[in-house]
Homo-oligomer: A and B are copies of this chain.
Amino acid sequence: MPKKSTSHPSPQDIKVAVDNCIFTVSDGELRILLIQMKKKPYTGMWALPGGLVQMRESLDTAAARILEEETGVRGVYLEQLYTFGDPKRDTLGRVVSVAYVALIPSSGIKLRTIDKYADVRWWPFRQLPKLAYDHNSIAAYAKRRLQWKLEYTNVAWSLLPPKFTLTELQEVYEVILGRKIDKRNFRKKILGLKLIHAIGEKTTSGAYRPAMLYRFWSKHPAIIKIL
């Protein structure tokens, strides 16, 4: 950017990072994955898992790589959220962070502990601690986007295992949107959209009356008014 009237533009030296907001729903709570930092200025603080983008990888690839390093998960829903670039968001130097949202099913995820971090845990979104950097803002923004996506697209399926009951699906909506939904209206609406179909089976393990299991026809993203 030559010829500005303002003070000399110093040569650009900016790092580009990716930070992931990894959501799941379990035990009736929206949860987000946080790591506890070891590194110097934020030791002991919790933060979103992230890292610098490598020279030869795209942003999407970087997000997927970091997601896999932290959780061992691959092939899940992963979408760019927003890019945060306040000059003072990192005290050590200028870092622009491209935030991503990942959605993973609650069932059977082994968190991979990695010695880069002191700890890795699922935190109930309602009770987040104070996070490093501007990560509280990023997480808040991610939740708003998730709420929107849930109402207007079919992403909900990314939060469920391949086979699920309608009650489980409804719980995902209720937990994330933060309100009760009428059971009959919900089922009518969802089944009317023809995005899922009952497979013959029923739940076996549970107590009381078994529930029908459903599967979704396609995981391809679609924009459809749901609620």
Contact = CB atoms under 8 A, between A and B. Distances in A.
A186 B56 CA distance: 50
Given A58-B87, A59-B83, A16 B16 contact: yes
Interface string A171-207: 0000000000000000000000000000000000000
Contact of A15 (B10, B12, B80, B82): B12
Interface in A46-75: 51-59, 66
A9 B59 contact: no
A33 interface: no
A186 to B, nearest CB: 20
Nearest to A54: B9
B85 A54 contact: no
B83 A83 contact: yes
The complex is assembled from copies of this chain, and their number is 2
Nearest to A3: B116
A141 to B, nearest CB: 11
B14 A53 contact: yes
A2 interface: yes
Contact of A14 (B3, B15, B82, B84): B15
A85 B64 CA distance: 14
A131 interface: no
Contacts of A27: none
A16 B55 contact: no
Given A15-B12, A16-B14, A16-B16, A83 B98 contact: yes
Q: Which 9 A-B pairs have the closest CB atoms?
A: A59-B85, A83-B83, A1-B51, A14-B16, A9-B54, A10-B55, A58-B86, A83-B98, A12-B52
